[in-house]
Amino acid sequence: MKNLKNLSICLMFALFGVLTTNAQTAVMSGSFQFTNDINRRVGVLVLQSNMQKFEFPISENIVIANLLPGRYSLIIEFQSGGRGGGMTKLSQNIDIESERRTICRMNASAVLGFAKEYDRSSTPIFAGNFRDDRRDFDRRDNDRVVVQPPVPQPVPDFEFNKLYNAVQNEKFSDSKMRTLKTSSNFYEYFSSEQVKRLALLFEFETDKLECVKYLVPKVLDVQNLPYIQDVFNFKSTKDDYLKFLNRR
């Protein structure tokens, strides 16, 4: 009984630690709303970032909630010129902001207008929480569609520290790079700050650049990618890195 009681106390403290860590790493989500004023023409709407993609038939009103802040590509394709007409495609980059709803309205002339307003439905996104990849459809509000996407997270600190120490403990650049590439394949996402810390484990600029290029496709906070250049000492390497970003 004593051992069981001690185990219960340990579990309570562990749970408290997880909740405290989550509360400290919470971010506020944003959302996107599409309002259709084109008389229900046949078409499709695509909203995507480097991590997520959502695709819907055009309806009167679409709301995609609980989005990570960042740059998204919006593509709207619809039938123009009445029934039997050709397809028209519109595309534009938009920024989803924390606690803000980005509203896109397309009028009868196929002109896109954008506005932002405070989003009362924005909710904190916690690191390490559990979310199912499910979609909730509410047909009672003008065919409104609300999507709760899964929330990707960077490598947890305790896992990142294992990776960091494994690379750091290697003596030579080639073994550091081999360990980095092999071990990082077991993790799906990184933050830009984690990539900077790993790059600084390498002495030579070429190795730092190789490290960064390898990990950039897994970075979640893409808006901070340009600032990774701070790990480089020479302007020529910074320029090479920025050119690499522009080619992505």
Q: Whole-angstrom Cα distance, residue 153 to residue 60?
A: 32
Pairing relationship of beta strands 27-28 and 124-125 according to DSSP bridges: antiparallel
Predicted TM-score (pTM) of the model is: 0.46
**Angle value at C-alpha 51, between 50 and 57, nearest 5 degrees:** 90
The mean pLDDT values, 10 residues at a time, for the chain of 248 residues are 48 43 57 74 80 75 82 86 71 90 83 86 52 35 50 86 95 95 92 96 96 94 93 95 89
User: Where in 138-193 does DSSP place strands (E)?
Assistant: 145-148
- pLDDT at position 203 is 94
Cα–Cα distance, 48 to 5 (Å, whole number): 49
Rounded Cα distance, 115 and 36, in Å: 14
pLDDT of residue 141: 43
Torsion region of 143: left, alpha or beta (phi above 0 gives left; psi -120 to 50 gives alpha): left
Taking the CA atoms of 139, 145, 150 and 153 in sequence, report the sign of the dihedral they define: negative
Q: Tell me, what's the pLDDT at 58? A: 76
Identify which of 76, 91, 81, 79 has the alpha carbon closest to the alpha carbon of residue 41: 79
